[in-house]
Chains A and B, each alone.
Chain A
């Protein structure tokens, strides 16, 4: 990876340079919280935001996307062109970039690469920025507090200057043209290490650090804990909506008013919704909220690992705040900690 240092006062020029060719989406103040929204000037951007309410997922995997249009009478698809605005997702935290990398594993797999996802991802630049942990952050427990790929630039604030990790030639060209860069010095490197340590120590100690989570998910699969979570779960699917890694979707046809033409859409769905595992004929393979909550946690904390070697949860904490019933991976970690204490 190539590293350079830029003066913090140059950041607005970088944003301006991006805006010439891209729509810039960045964290802005939204009510009492923060959100990723298109911005028209550097001043709108909040650089030291804690976490946004929803993730960046919608810019790569839109909640509702047309796959193609069709003609009912001909029983065939008609031409369809996807319109994508070239974008810079500016100010993404490490967890959110890791989340996009997880989505890549699903949608850019070698066997069935998804042309829609690929088109969005190819037209999108990702510029990351360092952060300090909020109270519900637990990315460090799931190996998602640092990110090593999947971005075009990553900015580490060293106080008045940024250590910039450059991940793509496209971004390098824009950066070099817009800003004066210099090589990192020993002092920069020392400051980088000091800040990294400081960040690691800032995580909340209230969230237990549990080892062997995938194994424990299997071992306690039948525990009464899941029934208890199931009783609390409202099946509102808010967790999946705010989750940066929940990618499940439904496919449905929408007819135009004349009934002759229409389009096939993919609509983001959630495995916590009651009918998600229903098959024709009426059998529901995950009939109860217990089954569904457990399946969601299982996929996040075990299932995805056995396929891809990493958690599908990046510890961003959004579901912790979105769930009205206090169900979250943190609850699962606390359950494992209680079980460990019982055994001791």
Chain B
């Protein structure tokens, strides 16, 4: 019987050779690249914002993301998890991820310190149509952890604020202690160029924002429907109600964008875990417009 051939699966050992970052990343797309934790900010009792910096300069320079994309994060020996990018592309060189402690992987990540190293591959997924959104009014609705992917879009808009019309952000949380990025949003509440509406289901004595579901503020909202893009992210049950409110305001199906949550295990349209109907959330999404979502069985 003939001997087995050995096939070197590229992109694992050859990182010492000089190659362009993109070529390195594509040589073996399953290979995570070391990234060092450069900052950790506690947001709530269960959420932290991690900032990472890719160690290899070639990979760092080749890494470009757009709002709405995600990365696969590795803790070797524990596994890999898809996490949406919370930072704006304008903050190049760093990858910000907002992580809720919810399972073994995220528990381990929460135990890590600045200087610790994880693996990162990506970015993956179809982003929000950021360039198309320029020149338009923006209506963003986030529920709970849905703020994580939307913050990338929010911060990108912030950094290029003059490119956009009116910007309204409705962000709903269960209670005041679960409001993330509170420092940032507290400052923004006094700004004239952002209409920021924070709402909670269960207020406490300190809460001076709105009370109720994220759909409640729509009642008093004036929307220039023909000139507005909507962006939505939140728990699964939220989408249907929010997009219907946006439809009632007259926003076109294809101007309402949603970022869906699924378990993207490979990120490359193969493993099947993130399938929604005939679409792969990882490569066809995670951002879909309402028209596309209506045409996907089981999307909402």
Q: Interface residues, chain A, CB within 8 Å of chain B?
A: 19-23, 38, 40, 67-68, 70-72, 74-86, 106-107, 109, 111-112, 114-116, 119, 123, 218, 221, 247-253, 255, 259, 262, 264, 266, 269, 271, 276-283, 285-286, 291, 295, 298-299, 302-307
Contact = CB atoms under 8 A, between A and B. Distances in A.
A277 B273 contact: yes
Contacts of A259: 77
Interface in B1-16: 1-13
A285 B262 contact: yes
Contact of B271 (A249, A278, A280): A249
B273 A248 contact: yes
A71 B105 CA distance: 17
B102 A280 contact: yes
B265 A77 contact: no
B283 interface: yes
Interface in B234-278: 235-236, 261-263, 265-266, 268-273, 275-278
Given A247-B270, A249-B271, A68 B5 contact: no
Interface string B199-215: 00000000000000000
Contact of A304 (B4, B77, B278, B297): B278
Given A67-B30, A81-B8, A123-B7, A75 B76 contact: yes
Q: Which 3 A-B residue pairings sit nearest by Cβ, starting from the closest?
A: A248-B272, A303-B278, A112-B268
Interface residues of B, number: 57
Given A276-B273, A280-B103, A285-B276, 8 more contacts: A22-B2, A75-B34, A115-B11, A115-B29, A249-B272, A259-B77, A285-B298, A304-B278
B236 A283 contact: yes
A221 B298 CA distance: 10
Given A22-B2, A303-B275, A306-B278, A84 B7 contact: yes
Nearest to B79: A253
A20 B2 CA distance: 7
A85 B270 contact: no
Contacts of A252: 79
B80 interface: yes
A109 B76 contact: no
A277 B262 contact: yes
Nearest to A307: B278
Nearest to A286: B298
Nearest to B116: A75
A33 B174 CA distance: 59
A291 B81 contact: no
A89 to B, nearest CB: 15
A221 B297 contact: yes
B275 A253 contact: no
B270 A106 contact: yes
Contacts of A221: 297
A269 B81 contact: no
Nearest to B78: A253
Contact of B79 (A22, A119, A251): A251
B5 A83 contact: yes
Contacts of A74: 117
Interface in B105-160: 105-106, 116-119
B266 to A, nearest CB: 7
A114 B28 CA distance: 8
Contact of A253 (B7, B77, B262, B272): B77
- Most interface-central of B2, B6, B272, B297 (chain A CB within 10 A): B272
Nearest to A114: B270
B31 interface: yes
A80 B15 CA distance: 13
A276 B263 CA distance: 9
Contact of A250 (B11, B105, B265): B265
B60 interface: no
A84 B5 contact: yes
Contacts of A109: 269
A281 B100 contact: yes
A192 B293 CA distance: 48
A19 B2 CA distance: 8
Contacts of B5: 83-86, 123
Nearest to A282: B102
B67 interface: no
5 contacts: A67-B9, A119-B7, A247-B270, A252-B79, A264-B76
B270 A112 contact: yes
